[in-house]
Structure 1
Amino acid sequence: METLLQRPALLRSILIGAVVVAYLTSFSGGFVFDDHPHIVENQSLGDVSAALRSMTAISTRPITRLTLALNVATFGKHPWSFHIVNLAIHLVSVVVLFGLVRGSVVLLNKQKPTGLEPNLVGFIAAILWGLHPLGTMAVTYIIQRHESLMAMFYLLVLYCLVRARMADRSWPWYLAGIFSCWLGMGAKEVMVTAPIAAVLFDRIILSDNWRSLYRSRGWVYAVMMSPAVLLLVKVIPILLKDSSSQAGVLGTYETASPWLYLWTQSGVILHYVRLAVCPDYLTFDYDWPVASNVWEYLPSALAVVTLLGGSLWYLWRGNPLGLVAFLFFLILAPTSSVVPIIDVAFEHRMYLPLACLSTLAAVGMCYAIAWWKASESIARRHSLVLLLTVGLSLGLGLRTLQRNLDYRDEIALWTSVVESRPMNLRANHNLVNHLRAEGRSAEAEVLLKQSIGWCQQHGYETFPLEADLAELYVYEGAADLALRQFQVAVDSANTQSKKLSPYRQQVRDRQQAELHTSFGALLDMVGRPKDAAVQFDLAIAFRPDVPHWYALAGDAHRKSGNVDLALQRWKHAVDADKSMFQVARDYGMLLAGVGRYDEAVPYLESSVRKNRDDVAAAYQLIRIQAAAPSDELRQPEVALTSSLNLQKQFPQHQQELREVEAMALSQLGRFDEANSILQSLILEASNNDSATRERLQQQLAIVQQQQPIRLARKSPVSTASR
């Protein structure tokens, strides 16, 4: 054993071999979840030149984007190629951690003997971290290369400082550290903490005092921090309310307050630590509940504050273990403090902090064995530590082999989540959708019913899952069954048993609104627009901030004959969301249909500009221009020209368009021509279409009296406008 510990090259080879074996099962994995929009469906991903330009433009995470682009340009979009690169990044990080811990112990031993064998501690820390299944989300989940790449550069920054301290010429290593820091900033925003970590690392491990650090290497950290300013400029918009960048990180509709998010993270951090010790129930998507009040997570908050306070105390006293413990909290700070990210807990965030815990575990094992076997020789103690390490590594490696299989496809991934957290709504929803897409609806139904039963047994609300079950019946074509199931979900939602915090109530209201929206869509589909309108209005009552729901409600009210409410709903929708062009068009059509011509014209004009083939909108517009009651709206010459052009372009609508031509001619005093057209249209009109014949005859009587045809203030919607 002692011979092995004197051969660092062999130890590195063992590390690499062990990690490769543990991740062999990752190569069977495909693209899952966010891999699809960011890799599979990203047509420009393979453009290396564009990725290089994004670096000069200081875009978000350009370094990771560049590595993905090189991946695609070299191997195409084959999952195995991404897994190879991800594993290579992880292997580099493992080897760097070995060198970092080993070198740090060597330097500490020169200052004051620690009783630690550098190669042994470095090996234990690296192999525990490299094989730990908690790291699989950052390695096996392809798109989380952001995390693993950032971690690699983070470790390289500290490693370069150690090498610079040991080297005869330090400046090349300092430059390498600066370069690593800059590259890491382009991998993920968490890297913004690296300069702080580097300064603290230097002070505790490398320097005797702050003055010598400042004089010798102050320039290094000043240059390291310079890109952090640019990164903060990119990150700040994400934190601003209503910014376009905020939605993907902090959520579009509801975001917890920083205070409640901080309290919640105390429980999350303790859970991370528990998983580091016992990685039993690893989960891709926790859907972790935000705290309702400070008391909900008070015990965990006290525990985290105690741990953080202890690390700060030992850091203040210059203890290297205090530094390692504090770095755990520092690295987690961007995602686990006061910035209320929409997803409260994700395992990939523990990838680099886990290296800190592995290092602490390595030191703790060595000291524990030394205390326990104080009477034994050093060689004997080292052998016991290595045997314990082998046992732990074997268990961790086997768990990693197993965990990688959960990423082989979407169904395996979401099944693993539902098995560990049946109350997870997103996981159930995604699993059901993927099963249904593969024609396994019966299996999806069974799984949903099992999740509903589990939630009922353990006191969780079931109405979102019951709504998912109803939607599954819709896809199966069982409309009657779906309607009954939706009613079950509504009844369940109406029996709220306890008071919630404002944030949780907001989330629940949105879930209820989505339930009523889905129910309304089904009612509309089966020809019950009046009932559908009731459901859409309920959705609006729960969450009045979603323009799309106003659009759905407006359409349902229009179909059920409630024009006033239809106009109100559509007006709100188009005012709230200027991109709803189709709704704006329908709103304009309905305004024209009820005789509110001055309000209708802007919407109709906009619709015609956007779609030259929209004959219905064009018809209503020229009809208003030809015969509006208001002098300000009438443009008979424009209407006449447009009518003739549209007749050539859309001969199938010639009857309606010739009627508009007659209206325009009557405004221009060309009564004989208008008379001729109207008589022709009456002859052509079907005997079964009495309404059209009556309208044309009324118009003919007006023209024969040498009077212009005018639209009434209230006018029915024509056939061409439907």
Structure 2
Amino acid sequence: MSSATANPPPQPAARLHWAIIATLVLTTVAAYWNSLAVPFFFDDKPAILHNPTIRQLWPLTAVLNPPQDGSSVTGRPLLNLSLAINYALGGTEPRGYHIFNLLIHALAGLTLYGVVRRTLLLPALRDHFGHAARLVAFTIAALWVLHPLQTESVTNVIQRTESLVGLFYLLTFYCFVRGLDSSRPRLWLTLCVISSLAGMATKEVMVTAPVLILLFDRALVAGTLAAAWRLRRSWYLGLAASWLLLIGLLIQTGGTRGEGAGLGLGATPWDYLLTQCRAIVLYLKLSFWPHPLVMDYGTDLVGGPAEVWWQGILLVALAGLTVIAWRRWPKAGFVGAAFFVILSPSSSVVPLVSQTIAEHRMYLPLAAVIVAVVLLLHQRMGRTAVIVLLCAAPVLGTLTHLRNRDYRSELALWTDTAAKVPANARAQINLAEILIKEGRPTEALVAAENAVRLRPNYPEAQNNLAIALIQTGRPQAALTAARRAVELKPDYAGAHSSLGIVLAQLGRLPEAIQHFEAALRLAPGSGEAPGLHYNLANALLKSGRFTEAIGHYRTALQHDPGLAEAHFNLAHALGMSGRYPEAEAELETTLQIDPHHARARAILETLRAGPR
């Protein structure tokens, strides 16, 4: 038998199938390649940098029990496990986390392609779309993976929670569709339930998956809910059982997400529902015209129905059309139902007060919008319309690549956010904080003043204002802001530190020492602790408490041995304590770090020349 007979060439359909897979993966990588250099920011920091449960993969029970601090990993054990895997592979280097996110997004796009293609080949749709199922599914998946509205879910590391639950949601659907005509339905049932369980352990929006699959069955397969239940009761019992995991996780977290989500957190369901009228219409607008894109819209709520009257009318009309379509044309009605059902956990009446509007919530609902547009145009205009839409994919990919540039640094991102939403106090607070770290106090002062104007009762805003005023040489004004920050939040270590600094500048050393000590008590192991030890040591040195100052200088230098001024001041304290050999050694270290330190050189020469 010839080799040609033994290994027949792949069929054109198979070649096309693999070409589509390769194209989806490569275009996704191209669009998001520049996201690999994006640093950690915002919610990444508490969930990754300050999360002790991801530091080791074993015991697994520890990894699957994330901190109950209201951060993005709270109540989401599988998300926490994914971060622990990243940490095991590359520590806190952001690139590995971005590669993981990119992989998830590409897999989700491939799964969406599979779900749509197999759905279009179902008996209910085969006559209309079967001949073009592959092209239509490819177009939908390409538009979805390359759409710039997805950037927050992919480029923002911790929004992996959105893309990962999206992947499990789509896998659950894929397994269900595969099981409809498979000779091994139990295998696909098992995989379907496993995917649902994984989604429940990733994010709460997965709660809607079993419901949406039942609606899918009714609209496209069984014809009625009763028939769907009768034909696939075991499937729905298995999917419903996955809710038990989510219920357990919600009980574990007290039914809320720390200070971020739930009832009784300062926002009424009515106010939040009104705000979601604005949010959902914005999401729809961004689906068709993705500009401007904003990483953080803040925490503002709508003041009343008058502010969103037209958005409310539009959404009621869309919901009404969905209901009518569901009754008369259930195949079309399902797409509208999918949009509203997937959004319902985050965009209805349960307040998510930490972010009242967030683009990442459109990660999966965007698929419903794209499916509706592509199928409608295909019905009206045929294959030509689909090809034209497919040509829009490179444009969307380019816009995604350009949007990722806004994430290139924390300063660039918060500058962009504050410019697009000037009334967002959190953006102004973060911008001020970054500008302070960048050594740009004058610009930081502007952002800090904006934040205080917007939210005078935010302790972080007052503290940033105090620091900016200190750095621009206005200690009296800084004193007022720092005191206000401490009044607003007495357990705020950063505010006590700022108050200590300004009191020390004003020569009120006993009070300064008290606040530095309070800051250390409140945050003994924080990243700010070395600076607190250094500032406390300086105040103790000026107060003549040399022995105590020496101890705090040494603690500060354990964390940052390259701080020349700390070595110099330690030498001063040692010299004042009569410990001259140790003082000489510290002066020598000072000069090794900073050879141009004139005072250290002069004192060292004096010590070496004079009597002891």
1:474–1:93 Cα change, 3 Å: same
CA distance, structure 2, for counterparts of residue 511 and residue 419 of structure 1: 29
Whether contact under 8 Å (2:467, 2:498) holds in the other structure is no
Equivalent pair of 2:429/2:464 in contact (CA under 8 Å): no
CA-CA distance at 1:257 after TM superposition: 0.4
User: 1:389 maps to which residue?
Assistant: 390
Distance across 1 between alignment mates of 2:487 and 2:420: 25
| 1:131-183 Cα distance to aligned partner (Å, 9 max, x none) | 01111111111111111110001011111111112323222112111111111
Length, aligned pairs only: 492
1:336 aligns with 2:331: no
| Cα shift at 1:188 | 0.7
Q: 2: CA distance between counterparts of 1:41 and 1:56?
A: 15
- Tell me how far 1:412 sits from its aligned partner: 1.7
Instruction: Please state whether the residue corresponding to 1:408 is helix, strand or coil.
Output: coil
Percent identical among aligned pairs is 31
Instruction: Say whether 1:433 aligns with 2:447.
Output: no
How many angstroms does 1:319 deviate by? 2.2
38-47 or 460-469, which moves further after superposition?
Answer: 460-469
State the Cα distance separating 1:317 from its structure 2 match.
Answer: 3.1
Tell me which amino acid in the other structure corresponds to 1:31: F
Whether 1:269 and 2:313 are equivalent positions in the alignment is: no
Aligned residues of 2:136 and 2:374 also touching (Cα < 8 A): yes
Q: Indicate how the Cα distance of structure 1 residues 318 and 181 shifts in structure 2: closer, same or farther if over 3 A, else same.
A: farther
Q: In structure 2, what is the Cα distance between the partners aligned to 1:474 and 1:384?
A: 59
The letter for the 2-side match of 1:258 is P
Match of 1:102 in 2: 117
**1:623-638 superposed matches below 5 A:** none
2:181 is matched with 166
Match of 1:153 in 2: 168
Contact kept, 8 Å, 2:104 with 2:164, in 1: the verdict is yes
Distance 1:145 1:434 in 2: 24
Q: Which protein is bigger by CA-based radius of gyration?
A: 1
SS in 2 for 1:30: coil
Is residue 231 of structure 1 aligned with residue 211 of structure 2? no
Separation in structure 2 between the aligned mates of residue 477 and residue 435 of structure 1, nearest angstrom: 13
Aligned partners of 1:527 and 1:13: how far apart in 2?
63
Conserved? CA contact 1:470–1:481, under 8 Å: no
Provide the secondary structure at the position in 2 that maps to 1:295. helix
Distance in 1 between residues matched to 2:253 and 2:78, nearest whole Å: 20
Q: Distance in 2 between matches of 1:469 and 1:190?
A: 35
> Structure 2, unaligned stretches of length 5 or more?
1-11, 69-73, 516-520, 525-547, 549-612
Could you tell me which residue of structure 1 aligns to residue 57 of structure 2? 48
Deviations 1:237-258 (A, max 9, x none): 7676xx7x54243599x52101
Offset at 1:100? 0.8
2:231 corresponds in structure 1 to 216
Give the aligned partner of residue 372 of structure 2. Answer: 360
**Which of 17, 26, 39 pairs up with 2:48?**
39
Counterpart for residue 24 of structure 1? 33
Contact 2:277 2:312 in 1 (8 A): yes
Q: Sort the Cα spacing of 1:41 and 1:104 in 2 relative to 1 into closer, same or farther, 3 A.
A: same
Counterpart residue type for residue 34 of structure 2 = T
> In the alignment, which of 328, 346, 355 is matched to residue 358 of structure 2?
346
Paired position in structure 2 for 1:409: 409
Q: Please tell me whether the aligned partners of residues 378 and 386 of structure 2 are also in contact (alpha carbons under 8 angstroms).
A: yes
Report the 3-state secondary structure (helix = DSSP H, G, I; strand = E; otherwise coil) of the residue aligned with 2:184. Answer: coil
Match of 1:137?
152
- Partner residue of 1:299? 310
Between 132-141 and 436-445, report the one with greater CA deviation: 436-445
Q: Deviations over 1:496-532 (max 9, x none)?
A: xxxxxxxxxxxxxx999689x9899869955999xxx
- Sort the Cα spacing of 1:486 and 1:55 in 2 relative to 1 into closer, same or farther, 3 A: closer
1: CA distance between counterparts of 2:500 and 2:64? 51
Q: Does 1:14 align with 2:23?
A: yes
1:312 aligns to what? 323
Amino acid in structure 1 at the alignment position of 2:347: S
User: Deviations for 1:208-252, whole angstroms, at most 9, x for unmatched residues?
Assistant: 333442232111111111121331243257676xx7x54243599
What corresponds to 1:503 in structure 2? none
Instruction: Indicate the RMSD between aligned Cα atoms, in angstroms.
Output: 3.9
In the alignment, structure 1 segments of 5+ residues that lack a partner are: 371-381, 491-509, 530-551, 557-578, 583-612, 614-722
Structure 2 CA distance for aligned equivalents of residues 99 and 145 of structure 1: 21
Normalized against structure 1, the TM-score is what? 0.61
Question: 1:42-101 CA distances to partner (integer Å, 9 max, x unpaired)?
Answer: 233132224455559998211111121112212332211111111111111101111111
CA apart distance, 1:32: 1.2
Query: Alpha-carbon deviation of 1:28?
Result: 1.3
Contact 1:314 1:321 in 2 (8 A): yes
Once residues 149 and 223 of structure 1 are traced to their aligned partners in structure 2, the CA distance between those partners, rounded to angstroms, is 21
Secondary structure, counterpart of 2:259 in structure 1: helix
| Pair 213,110 (structure 1): closer, same or farther in 2 beyond 3 Å | same
Please tell me whether residue 369 in structure 1 is matched to residue 389 in structure 2: no
d(CA) in 2 for partners of 1:102, 1:113: 13
Q: In structure 2, do the counterparts of structure 1 residues 279 and 288 end up closer, same or farther at CA, with 3 Å as the change threshold?
A: farther
Deviations 1:377-433 (A, max 9, x none): xxxxx245313421x212211111011122232112211101211221111111111
Deviations 1:661-698 (A, max 9, x none): xxxxxxxxxxxxxxxxxxxxxxxxxxxxxxxxxxxxxx
- 2:200 is aligned, of 174, 185, 210, to 185
